[in-house]
Amino acid sequence: MSAAALKCLCCGSSSVVEEDHYTQRQMVCVDCGAVASEGALTHDTFEGTDISYSRTTAVSKKPCLNQRKGLQRLTALCRVLRVNSEIERIASEYFARAYEHESFLKVSLQKKEILVGCCVLASCRQLNWPVSMGTIGCLLEADMAMTGAVYQEMMKVLRLEVPHISVSDVMESHCKEYKISSLDVEECFAEDHRDIQQRALSLIELAADSWIVTGRRPVPLMMATVYLAWQSLNPTLVRLNVSLPKFCRIAKVRQNQTAAKRVGEIKTVLCKLGKEIPWVTDPVTSANVVRYVDDIVKNRYALLRRALRSHEQAMQEESQLCCEKGNPSEQENQTLRTTNFHSEKSKQPGEGSEFKAHQDLEPNWGKRMVFAPPCVIHAKRRRAVTESLEGVTGHEEISDSEIESYIRTPQEVREFALAQKAWLSQTDQNKCE
């Protein structure tokens, strides 16, 4: 319908003009502005470029509430650890990538919170910032096993390569967590964290030489060395009487349950080396070995050599004493082991069952060494390997000798009859009572 034939329905005016409203053509009254007629999008032609629906409605995806909370927690962790802006930026990128991955979409909120700490840990290790996994787990108050599992999964998902750090790299930051300066504690307990760090690093090196560091978590080991370093720098009676739990309360740190075991292991090594000090005449025990830590640390290599030499001499004297008494069991065992080893090499696989049984019965060699890995000293008992009974149906014939082994001898028959008679008499007596 043309514009001249139209009239406005509101005012009755015939002055109606055609007007384009965006992409739709309409008939509008000039006098009152009312719409007299409007076209349809499907019938009107529009000469212009086609624009897709997705482009006209596209908006940037905003992070969800949990992701925003995770970023806030990440920023708070970086502020607590006092890392630079580069580490915070890299950690934020890792968290954004990991959060959108399918491995972390449908997990609990606890794992997503741990993921924040794992991203910070990975970025710190890439830029050589000394932070341990135990520190991250303590700040997040999370389980260490779960933290390690999330960290390994994140490294696999993001395909990151992070350099491994040693215990000595994070010792400085770990020592600063202990509030034992003169401003925090009494004068008898106060100590400079630099001196503690230096002494603790020396004890860590000594522990590494004696296999204590092998396969161990760093946080309990660092806590044990800091505690012994604090005692040894001023070995007064007041400090020697302070236990590890009390020291943690004084220093305002949370005690690790495994640290007490590490303290005992390090004291055992210190006692072995303290006995080799030439100018020490008193017996060295775990109660007074802290007094000699300074001398042990300064002469560590010489004392290690003396301890190894003394142990070898003691083993030789013991073997000679056994030979003089006519009990050459050790030599016979050594000869048997050597003979069986050479014979085992010449046999086919599966023919050396006697040699394997002898290996299982052999005593733990770690207990005969002055220094050995903990997994050797405290070796777990291996389960006996049962041979698979292939082809056994249960219908095999039983030999006469095996049948005779199940038959009681006349003496066993008499003993069994006497025991049964005594049991019956005792039963009758109890019934009468």
pLDDT for 142-186, tens place per residue? 888 888 889 999 999 888 888 777 777 778 878 888 999 888 888
In whole angstroms, give the CA distance from residue 203 to residue 293.
9
- Locate 92 and state its tokens: 């934020």
Confidence of residue 5 (pLDDT cuts 50, 70, 90): low
Paired strand residues for 16: 29
- Locate 355 and state its tokens: 């040699």
* pLDDT, tens digit, 9 for 90 and up, residues 392-432: 777 777 777 777 777 878 888 888 888 888 888 887 777 76
C-alpha of 188 from chain center: 36
* Helix or strand (DSSP H, E) at 270: helix 259-274
In whole angstroms, give the CA distance from residue 26 to residue 20.
6
pLDDT for 420 equals 86
- What is the rounded average pLDDT of the residues 67-90? 89
Question: Is residue 390 predicted with pLDDT exceeding 90?
Answer: no
DSSP letter for 38, please: E
Question: What is the DSSP secondary-structure string of 157-212?
Answer: HHT-------GGGGHHHHHTTS--STTTS-TTT---HHHHHHHHHHHHHHHHHTTS
- Locate 122 and state its tokens: 């990975």
The mean pLDDT value of the chain amounts to 78
User: SS3 for 385?
Assistant: coil
How far CA 344 is from CA of 341, 351, 364, 385, in Å, comes to 5, 8, 21, 19
pLDDT for 218 equals 84
Sign of the CA dihedral 97, 103, 109, 111? negative
In whole angstroms, give the CA distance from residue 293 to residue 271.
10
Question: Is residue 247 predicted with pLDDT exceeding 90?
Answer: yes
In whole angstroms, give the CA distance from residue 74 to residue 119.
8
User: SS3 for 400?
Assistant: helix
pLDDT for 38 equals 63
Q: State phi, psi for 27 to the nearest 5 degrees.
A: -100, 120
pLDDT for 244 equals 93
Other Cβ atoms less than 10 A from the Cβ of 177: the count is 16
Confidence of residue 315 (pLDDT cuts 50, 70, 90): confident
DSSP letter for 46, please: -
pLDDT for 369 equals 75
* Helix or strand (DSSP H, E) at 413: helix 410-432
**Is the entire prediction scored with pTM above 0.85?**
no
Q: Which of 115-124, 135-144, 397-406 has the lowest mean pLDDT?
A: 397-406
Task: Sort residue 215 into left (φ over 0), alpha (ψ -120 to 50) or beta.
Answer: left
pLDDT for 199 equals 92
pLDDT for 229 equals 93
Q: Which of 189-198, 265-274, 306-315 has the lowest mean pLDDT?
A: 306-315
Name the residue with higher pLDDT: 406 or 109.
Answer: 109
Q: Is 3 exposed, middle or buried (0-12, 13-18, 19+ CB in 10 A)?
A: middle
Please name the residue that has the structure tokens 């260490």.
144
Q: Is 376 exposed, middle or buried (0-12, 13-18, 19+ CB in 10 A)?
A: middle
* pLDDT, tens digit, 9 for 90 and up, residues 206-232: 988 888 887 788 888 999 999 999 999
pLDDT for 57 equals 56
pLDDT for 65 equals 83
